[in-house]
Amino acid sequence: MQHGLQLAWQTVLKMVDGFFELLPNLLIACAVFFVIHMLSRVIGKAAFSISSKAQIDQTLGHAIEKLMAVAINVLGLLVCAVIVVPDFSADKLIAGLGIGSVAIGFAFQNILQNFFAGMLLLWQKPFRIGDEIKARDYEGTVEDITIRTTLLKTHTGQRVYIPNGVLFTDPVTVNTAYAHRLIHLQVPFKEVPDEKAVQVAKMTLAGLETVAKDPEPKVYVSAANGALSLDIYFWASSRNADIIRATDDATLALEKALRKQIAADKPINKAA
């Protein structure tokens, strides 16, 4: 028992002696890391300033700033490790982390995928904040684009967080990429001659503010299940709210105009 206590005490004394032997190196390493850490902040801010002058997206600029700072801090840690333990070398660290890095890579695969996808999205800018997009089963307005996710406000007032990896690999429809979108309506009609119905529809659409004048609306006559209808194609502002308004305005105005034309074409019976 006494022999074991002596061994334990000797071990503690050796650890204390080793600590005091390394203390000067530890102090020097702490001072070096402090300087490198401050330098990383300066370089990170300089990188952000350069990205701003280059008109790079602000979110991407902040990401570059953080990446620069992290890379310099990691380099500083390696330098400090060499100061504290002169026998330390980066190749030994890499060899020791060989298997662990593979496990870490698998564990953080989705996170890294979304991170780099976010960087590429911010760089390429296939869509911007305020654009209306459709991805998978979600459709709405882009509220924010972060490094990992894109925030989408749906047309029903819900917020959806979509991983950037999905937006980078899956097809994405940008509804507001252009100023106008094409709308298709089918309006049934009867008791009005075909040519007259087409003329009434064109005149009606020309008088609506929500319908674009260029390109001009196209009106065709079609028959389905024995019933005549007007196939109408016109352009309107690409915003979802404007599309709904234009569709509603056109439908109501066309039905009203056709009813008015039917009433005008009916013969008036005069009393004998």
Say whether both 134 and 82 belong to one domain.
Answer: no
Residues 202 and 159 grouped into a single domain: no
Q: Are residue 184 and residue 252 in the same domain, yes or no?
A: yes
Residue finishing a domain among 174, 192, 211 = 174
Say which residues have a Cβ less than 8 Å from residue 161's Cβ, sequence separation at least 6: 149, 150, 151, 152
Output the domain CATH number for residue 157.
2.30.30.60
> Structural domain tally of the chain?
3
Q: How far apart are the first and last CA of the chain?
A: 136
- The mean pLDDT value for 147-163 works out to 93
With 0-12 CB in 10 A as exposed, 13-18 as middle and 19+ as buried, what is 134? middle
pLDDT in tens, 156-210: 999 999 999 999 999 999 999 999 999 999 988 887 788 898 999 999 999 999 9
Domain final residue, candidates 145, 174, 203: 174
pLDDT digits (tens, 9 = 90+) for 12-51: 556 555 555 666 777 777 888 888 888 888 888 887 788 7
Task: Clarify whether residues 192 and 254 are in a common domain.
Answer: yes
Residue 51 within a domain: yes
Q: Do residue 185 and residue 219 come from a single domain?
A: yes
Any idea what the CATH number is for the domain that residue 215 is in? Answer: 3.30.70.100
The pair of three-digit structure tokens given for residue 91, joined into one six-digit string: 């190749």
Length reported for the chain: 272
Domain assignment present for residue 6? The answer is no
Rounded to whole angstroms, the Cα distance separating 140 from 222 reads: 33
Same domain, 170 and 184: no
Asked if residue 247 is part of any domain, the answer here is yes
Q: Which domain holds residue 197?
A: 180-265
B/e letters for 154-176, b = 16+ CB within 10 Å, e = fewer, are eeeeeebebbbbbbbeeebebbb
- For residue 272, tell me if it sits in a domain: no
Q: Does residue 107 lie in a domain region?
A: no
Give dist(CA 48, CA 54) in Å, integer: 10
Do residues 216 and 248 share a domain? yes
What confidence tier does 264 reach under pLDDT thresholds 50, 70, 90?
confident
260 and 220 assigned to the same domain = yes
Using the 3D structure, point to which of 174, 196, 214 is the last residue of a domain.
174
Q: Is residue 120 part of a domain?
A: no
CB 114 within 8 A of CB 148: yes
pLDDT digits (tens, 9 = 90+) for 44-83: 888 778 877 777 666 677 777 777 888 888 888 877 777 7
Rounded to whole angstroms, the Cα distance separating 204 from 259 reads 12
The more confident residue out of 109 and 205 is 205
Q: What is the structure's pLDDT at 257?
A: 92
**28 in a structural domain:** yes
Question: Where residue 8 falls among pLDDT bands split at 50, 70, 90?
Answer: low
User: Does residue 111 sit within a domain?
Assistant: no
Same domain (yes/no): 185, 132: no
- Whether the per-residue pLDDT at 270 is higher than 50: the answer is no
- 254 in Cβ contact with 197 (< 8 Å): no
pLDDT, mean of residues 201-229: 89
The mean predicted confidence, pLDDT, of the chain is 81
Are 252 and 186 in a shared domain?
A: yes
